[in-house]
């Protein structure tokens, strides 16, 4: 069985990085995982802070796509671990979300993002689905913690 998610307002939208579940990382509070992920793209502290303070995750993503400020040079190598850190923290911070994730059992989790072939499955399902993979990793970690 597979569970596809994308829009925050639809079933399992809590798994989207746009869902309003904040995380504290590196001593700062980020309103969503998306805010953190986009801010981490930049060494420029001012731009990273502007992203952290963005009014919503869509705006955070837009600011993260600006190339007026250069991306950190190791971003391609770092981005999966940055995402893993933020998603892990999201589920550690919000126990009801951890229960929701555990409740998906062994279902394959798929970010059904039609235009994202890296984090999501893309338009025809052939994308790499890295967000789904990370969610399944975090689910396995939560399960082994629960089993002691």
Ligand X SMILES: Nc1nc(O)c(N)c(N[C@@H]2O[C@H](COP(=O)(O)O)[C@@H](O)[C@H]2O)n1
The residue ranges that bind ligand X (CB under 6 A) are 16-18, 34, 37, 61, 64, 111, 113, 116, 119, 131
Closest approach of Cβ 24 to ligand X, in Å? 18
Closest approach of Cβ 147 to ligand X, in Å? 29
Could you give the 3-state DSSP secondary structure of residue 29? strand
Nearest residue (CB) to ligand X, 76 versus 106: 76
Closest approach of Cβ 56 to ligand X, in Å? 11
Strands 108-111 and 28-30, how do they pair?
unpaired
Closest approach of Cβ 86 to ligand X, in Å? 9
Nearest residue (CB) to ligand X, 33 versus 98: 33
Q: State both tokens at 132.
A: 């789904």
Nearest residue (CB) to ligand X, 18 versus 104: 18
* Contact assessment for residue 117 and residue 128, using Cβ atoms and an 8 Å cutoff: yes
Closest approach of Cβ 58 to ligand X, in Å? 7
Nearest residue (CB) to ligand X, 49 versus 147: 49
Looking at the DSSP bridge assignments, the partners of residue 12 are none
Please identify the residue of the shown chain whose CB is closest to the bound ligand X. Answer: 17
Please tell me what DSSP assigns to residue 117. Answer: S
Angle formed by the axes of helices 95-102 and 130-146, nearest 10°: 100
Nearest residue (CB) to ligand X, 10 versus 145: 10
């Amino acid at each position: 069985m597979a569970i596809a998610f994308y829009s925050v307002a639809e079933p399992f939208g809590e798994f989207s990085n746009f869902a309003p579940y904040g995380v504290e990382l590196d001593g700062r509070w980020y309103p969503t995982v998306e805010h953190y992920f986009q801010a981490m793209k930049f060494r420029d502290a001012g731009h990273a802070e502007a992203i952290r303070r963005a009014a919503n995750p869509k705006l955070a993503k837009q600011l993260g796509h600006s190339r007026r400020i250069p991306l950190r040079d190791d971003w391609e190598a770092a981005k999966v671990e940055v995402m893993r850190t933020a998603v892990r923290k999201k589920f550690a911070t919000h126990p009801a979300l951890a229960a929701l994730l555990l409740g998906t059992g062994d279902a394959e989790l798929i970010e059904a993002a039609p235009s994202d072939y890296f984090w999501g499955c893309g338009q025809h399902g052939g994308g790499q689905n890295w967000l789904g993979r990370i969610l399944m990793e975090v689910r396995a970690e939560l399960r082994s913690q629960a089993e002691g």
